[in-house]
Structure 1
């Protein structure tokens, strides 16, 4: 699914905010952080009609393009009723501070890596709401690592959130996740950076899709006698290289790996028990990145959470390909 798809039905705005003197979890001060965002609809007089969307690993802030069917007049995220906002995660490629800019803002020696965690990003978003004058979030949501950020923010409970929708995500980066991410990092660091990024993306796609999806859509060979499955992998790698940077990709992998609600001498159950609002957890039957059992665990540890597993052969990417089903479930289960 192309991120640059123009959704002509939905009027959108693009703006940015700048945070000053941000302190990370590790104690590093960043002098300035730029956060680019898309928004739709209008903030009401009470500043509480907000739907906040956190995006996935390589997505951008134009959620109406990559999550079709959710945002617009009369849709689940109704632009006539709600102010919908999706910020681009700092360290990504789409308008927010780049990894190089973040490192410069931290004024760290070259040999010392800047550590930015999922909780740090959630804290940045929280400070962003102050600048925008937001008093309450009606629905906080995110798919994949966007779900990491939404969950970290909900646990911190720094801004009132009424409802939480977690889609194809988890309460921690599992050893399986970290192994996949490390294999991608090895590909980037042992080749030409752009060629390495293409290889990393091809590796990632295998965790985003399922055997069922490949076996149903990539059978056979093309007119030059090449396997469709092989050319598809090449295509996916080449496509990402055109729109994403290796440095940003490694940054986002590190951000992914940082997520674990059980850190800081607590356990996952204790951390998740702090989330005392209506929570909807949505998973997919063939998600290899965040398997359904993790969705069950996540829902069991959050008091009163509702779990919905959608049958789909498209694995983790089903949060994109099954967006209409996701939309209907959010609308029905969260009563919006």
Structure 2
């Protein structure tokens, strides 16, 4: 199939990281295509927080602003998915789900992650609304409310203490996923955290609002919001096809997800491929994902300059000989 166009850089993923990288590259006068599937991780959330200058902006509005900003520098944004990426003489040939193909000298992959939640009926449907995971993203909005922590691993003990910064009413549901050590039990008791044993049967919804959880014993424990610690799994199928596999990431000795390794500037071990945002940094909030995209974009431009300089030197030597 004939290629539709050749770009200096194709950015796969049009969230904060991808658009920020595209903005840096567009301002560097590079030809850039952003291919965006249109399913951002934070779509269920009402607002973006901790983004200086854009505090409280709805996620869709922030992306709309970003797309307009990159377009002003000649960046193309296209809705779709990159289905395959293969090596070529130029760099990479990319097939899109609409049948088109494009060529790229460099790739910036910002495909984000998937939140794999504990298997509790009703939990996933409320995620991003009143089932939360990040206190820095949502803690202020549920301040002083009755919060329940749904344990999925040992990190829940720290989470229960952490959410106590925003409310005095914290309950930790062990959900048969956690055996408390005497030391942890003492910490929770000292911080006033209530501990509930036994598995959770389902999330209780009343009038389209979270009302609590029903235990398998039948008991309903009232809560106004729940905190579920997902396993963060990088959306890395495209990267895997290029030889880049996600690696386990630990915090306090607990594996909390799987991310694609890269250097601090987003350069991977595969030449020509950079990553930014949650696909490589599982803890990145929107503003730090955007910063990662900027760094990667600048480094990609530098890498292209080095390639172009080498080619110019070779030509110069021929002419000068």
TM-score when normalising by structure 1: 0.31
Q: Which is bigger in relative contact order (C-alpha 8 A, separation at least 6)? A: 2
More helix by share: 1
More strand by share: 2
TM-score when normalising by structure 2: 0.32
